[in-house]
Structure 1
Amino acid sequence: MKLNIVFENEDFVAISKPSGTLSVPDRKQSEPSLKDFLKQKYGEIFTVHRLDKFTSGLILFAKNSGTHKQLSQLFEDRAIEKFYIGIVNGVLRPSSGTVNTPIMEHPAKDGRMLAHSKGKPSVTDYETIEAFKNYSLVQFQIHTGRTHQIRIHAQYLGQPIVCDELYGDGRGIYLSAIKKKYNLSKNQWEERPIMGRLALHSYNMRFTLNGETYSLEAPLPKDFSATLEQLRKNN
């Protein structure tokens, strides 16, 4: 695996994680994780936080126990500003706002979470950046770090993240759905989605560590940028 390093110093490394890669090993050790690759490169590495397997983008790992403690405390104190970009189904009304809805583990205990009054406090700010015919590009800022928080809150707003199999219909974005005159090419038997994975990307983090302020950014992946280009072209 080629590591896409956004920034590193002697204390921590910021990686742009590809969609489909585990942040850290799962309980079954079913497949290599990003942390496994980092251990091969750096030897000792410390988990600070996680991203969902199919969420791409910025993730931090500490290189020593002292920085691990500091960064973990910053996350716990909500002293790290975390911004995500997502494509949601439909158009959000209102176009911006705050979701302050608790989240708890689903009673079925099958990996899903649930917006519920008995859950843990969960706060997400959202702002529509661009609205298309059937989709919207939205910035999310999370003030808490609950499992699947953005995905749950997008579902709560009635416009789940594109290609979310747990909280939406799981359907990707197809060119035939947005382009008026679309025909399969001669070599194609069936159409493949232009966005066929969870359309959520961790793109910016801002924090201060040891007196130095950092603003780290992971550019949008190619599939994300290509999808936006098609949505703009056919809007």
Structure 2
Amino acid sequence: MKLDILFENDLFIALNKPSGMLSIPDRIQSEPSMKDFLIAKYGQIFTVHRLDKDTSGIIVFAKDEVTHKALSQLFEGRAVEKYYLGLVNGTLMNERDTINIGIMEHPARNGTMVTNAKGKPSITDYEVLENFRIYSWLQFQIHTGRTHQIRVHMKYIGHSIVCDAIYGDGKPVLISALKKNFNLAKKEEEERPILGRLGLHSYKLKFELHGETYHLEAEPPKDLRALLQQLRKWKKG
């Protein structure tokens, strides 16, 4: 696999992870992860943070134990500015707001999280960048790093991330839902979704390490850009 390297020096490497790939190996080694590919290339690599399998975007790995400890402390100590872009269902009441409610593991569903006042403190800021009525394109800044944080918080306020099968309806985005006179191509038996994966992208990281400030940025992938283009056309009508 060809790695999409955004930045690399002697201390760490930042990559643009594709949707559908594990950040690190799962418990049963069910499929290759991004970390596996890095180990094959560098010999040793250290996990600093992770992204959900279906989330695309920036992820950072350390190249040595000292850097790993320093970066891990930055992430855990809320000293990293973390921004995401995402498409959510519906129109939000507020153009920008802060969601501040705890998150904990679901008591009955393994690997699933739920909002709860007794959960770990979790803070997400959001800002609406574009409103398409049935969908909205948002920028998020997370001040904590809980599992599935943005996804859980957006479910909590009733605007789940598009195509989220765990915290939303999981329905793919179809062109036929946007175009009145949509006709399926003769050679196709059923419509292929314009987006069939979680509509969430890790967009920007900013942090200071050993006196140097790093600004890392990953443009949204082709599928999200294509969907936004279609939504803008549909909005103009």
TM-score bucket of the superposed structures, by smaller chain: over 0.9
Q: CA deviation at 1:161?
A: 0.1
* Percent of paired sites with the same residue: 63
Distance 1:31 1:108 in 2: 26
Q: CA deviation at 1:110?
A: 1.9
Partner of 1:174: 174
2:232 is equivalent to residue 229 of structure 1? no
Partner of 2:218: 218
Partner of 1:85: 85
Calculate the TM-score normalised by the size of structure 2.
0.98
After superposing the two structures, state which structure 1 stretch, 101-110 or 144-153, moved more: 101-110
Q: CA deviation at 1:215?
A: 0.6
Code of the residue aligned with 1:128 in structure 2: it is V
Q: Deviations over 1:155-183 (max 9, x none)?
A: 11111000000100001111011112211
Q: Deviations over 1:77-99 (max 9, x none)?
A: 10000000000011111121000
Distance 2:159 2:192 in 1: 23
Partner of 2:193: 193
Partner of 1:95: 95
Alignment of 1:32-47 (within 5 A): 32-47=32-47
Gaps of 5+ in 1: none
Code of the residue aligned with 1:175 in structure 2: it is I
Calculate the TM-score normalised by the size of structure 1.
0.99
Distance 1:201 1:156 in 2: 19
2:204 is equivalent to residue 204 of structure 1? yes
Computed over aligned residues only, the root mean square deviation of the Cα atoms, in angstroms, reads 0.7
Gaps of 5+ in 2: none
Partner of 1:20: 20
Distance 1:89 1:213 in 2: 35
Code of the residue aligned with 2:3 in structure 1: it is L
Distance 2:178 2:147 in 1: 32
Partner of 2:116: 116
Distance 2:77 2:126 in 1: 21
Q: CA deviation at 1:49?
A: 0.3
Q: Deviations over 1:70-123 (max 9, x none)?
A: 000001110000000000011111121000010000011321100011100000
2:150 is equivalent to residue 157 of structure 1? no
Q: Deviations over 1:148-207 (max 9, x none)?
A: 000001111111000000100001111011112211011111011101000000010000
Code of the residue aligned with 2:213 in structure 1: it is T
Partner of 1:147: 147
Q: CA deviation at 1:133?
A: 2.6
Instruction: Figure out how many residues of one structure are paired with residues of the other and give that number.
Output: 235
